[in-house]
Structure 1
Amino acid sequence: MSEIKNLLILPHLRVQNANAISSPMTWGFPAMSAFVGLMQALERRLPEHLKLEFQSVGVICHDYQTQATRGGFTRSFHLTRNPIDKAGNTAAIVEEGRIHLEITLVFAIVGETCYGAKQEREQAAREVSEIVSGMRIAGGSVVPAPLGAVSRQRPWLEALDDDAEARALQFRKLRRRWLPGFALVCRDDLLTKHLAEMREQMPEASALDAWLDLSRLNHECRLTQTEKKAGELEEEVSWEIRRLPGWLVPIPVGYGAISRRFEPGEVASARDATIPFRFVESLYSIGQWVSPHRLTCPEQLLWYVDNDLDAGLYRLANDFTARYHAIQ
């Protein structure tokens, strides 16, 4: 039995100037931690009469427009020059990657409001949508719907059926409404598998080598032998791009500790001197963009916090692989 009972859906949100630099080593789409952070900030902003608790979040991207210029193999972000400083000198340019997005947000929620009448659920969904419209999503601003497209952005709260067949039918109807688009899921399994394959040829290969190998276009040489004359073979050389099992992308999935846990106020110039402090670095994995019609249950779409405080891991998780293999 699934633990996900209700889905709050905010369809076709238009976000302007979101952060396209997701980590020190990746760019092109905001990190999933930005959307989990939005979920947590949204829960804190809810009025008292909305009894809702947010568990996880999924994102479907329908359209994007990266604010970058491409010249050959080089891409450059569109940057803005800051005003002059107090001394009248020209301020330095700080590189900021921006992207315009059209996305659908799907939240798994629980709470008393989920079990109210249909009108109460619709009102709750509208209130949440209004709150989100005044918030930042991955650093970007939510743009109002254009005239004639307001109904396309109508939010709704879907109560999932307890019966497995009825629940599957509900989800099939939902995922059709998310087309065309692509959902970002986590594929830790492909990174582990590729590392094992690389170590068969290069025992010294590391997880970073496997991650980089999956993140780039690899041109491979193919040798084919053809018989030209009786008993004579001729070799032909061709170059092909290695085909990957899906639309794979490198993504950050959280942070790993590189220091001990400091007590509040022990580290000078910390942003908040009332909470513990720890130095961390980014954690990376492989993500995959999949069409919503290939999802079989909400768990494959949703991301949630999966920290291991003893190991110093502050990361996000997604159950696409576990649910995919369970169905196979």
Structure 2
Amino acid sequence: MSALPRFTHLLVLPHVRVQNANAISSSLTHGFPSMTAFLGLMWALERKARQAGLALEFNAVGVVSHGWQEQVTEGGFVKSFRLTRNPVDKDGSTAAIVEEGRIHLDLSLVLAVHAEHWDAQTQAHDVSRIADLLAGMRVAGGSVLAPAHAIAWRQRPWLADLTGSEEDRRKSFREVCLRLLPGSALVARDDLLAARLSQLRASAPETTHLEAWLSFSRLHWRHDPQADHNKGRWVSDRRKGSGWIVPIPVGYGALGPVHAAGSVAHARDAATPFRFVESLYSLGEWIGTHRLQAPHHLLWYADSRPDDGLYRCRNDYRPAGSTADPLSA
């Protein structure tokens, strides 16, 4: 397993408003873009920054959600995506509709930046340039909206310096967490999937990893055997205080070998080796930023192991009470 890459600063791009981002994060999940989209955004932004002459490395990204509006029908228990109607074909017949899920987002991006000899004057110029570059990019397929004049001050990017002593780093990160309130950060909870699988296999040994994962996509209600039979009571498997747990895609797994560049017809890039993959799934949790104890709790980074056919997004969050060093990253 790889480790969180080195970084010297956290660049915060607060309250980025995104219109019509992709709400379908995988073939089995929806409701918020996949972390693969934000890692892709980070790499694309780094390339643009280097082309603009900025000597910076973006090595990890954190995402904090402040609000969202998924474009679905209102009313009723079952909801459907609001779809656009495509123009008719040349012969006048109705064109096929490819289902697209869209969501409006208000989110903050936290980029782990590694920079050598980054003085204050250069920082101010670079941060402003990065914000300008982001304004012209797509975020998970959505368009970045221009800052509203009334709240433009909330959308000014800023830096947190993590090059000082351990105590200085702790204070800087704590300031980041508090300034991002109210907001929820997505963190990885792979540990819960293993625990749920063990729990289910205690009564049903044939339970698969997929079934354990799907059990987190719904609420299971049952009659409480300890309740008064004259009154009755229904309880769910989501106990109060158990957290906002959601199934999420975390990368891709290979379905076959790597093909030489240009050998697969209709590939997007004929100059890059090609490989067929499928989504990898795990669990995530939305937690308030005030509960984050260290940068590696917030940040996601790439863990690519081509020999094993794995291309994963990693996050090193540990629940409260963990013995891991909170500043080991």
TM-score, normalised to structure 1, is 0.92
Aligned match of 1:186 in 167, 185, 188?
A: 188
Contact 1:223 1:236 in 2 (8 A): no
Aligned match of 1:101 in 85, 99, 105?
A: 105
Q: Say whether 1:56 aligns with 2:60.
A: yes
Q: Which residue of 2 aligns with 1:170?
A: 172
Q: How much has 1:321 moved relative to structure 2? A: 2.6
Q: How much has 1:166 moved relative to structure 2? A: 1.6
| Partner Cα separation in structure 2 for residue 324 and residue 156 of structure 1 | 31
Q: How much has 1:267 moved relative to structure 2? A: 2.1
SS at match of 2:264: coil
Q: Say whether 1:251 aligns with 2:248.
A: yes
Contact 1:299 1:323 in 2 (8 A): no
What does residue range 1-328 of structure 1 map to in structure 2 within 5 Å? Answer: 3-46=6-49, 47-112=51-116, 115-224=117-226, 237-244=232-239, 245-321=242-318, 325=322, 326=324
| Partner Cα separation in structure 2 for residue 241 and residue 146 of structure 1 | 42
SS at match of 2:10: strand
Name the % identity.
Answer: 50
| Partner Cα separation in structure 2 for residue 216 and residue 317 of structure 1 | 25
Q: How much has 1:324 moved relative to structure 2? A: 6.5
Aligned letter for 2:97?
Answer: I
Q: How much has 1:264 moved relative to structure 2? A: 1.9
- Structure 1 stretches of 4+ with a deviation exceeding 6 A read none
Q: How much has 1:86 moved relative to structure 2? A: 2.6
Aligned letter for 1:6?
Answer: H
Consecutive unaligned residues in structure 1, runs of 5 or more: 227-233
Cα-Cα RMSD: 2.0
Computing the radius of gyration from Cα coordinates, the structure with the larger value is 1
Aligned letter for 2:234?
Answer: W
| CA 1:225–1:152: 2 relative to 1, 3 Å | closer
For these two proteins, the number of residue pairs brought into alignment is: 319
- Segment of structure 1 superposing worse, 205-214 or 241-250: 241-250
Aligned letter for 1:275?
Answer: T
Q: How much has 1:263 moved relative to structure 2? A: 1.7
Contact 1:81 1:92 in 2 (8 A): no
Q: How much has 1:277 moved relative to structure 2? A: 1.5
Structure (1/2) with the larger strand percentage: 1
SS at match of 1:85: coil
| Partner Cα separation in structure 2 for residue 14 and residue 45 of structure 1 | 20
| Partner Cα separation in structure 1 for residue 174 and residue 269 of structure 2 | 45
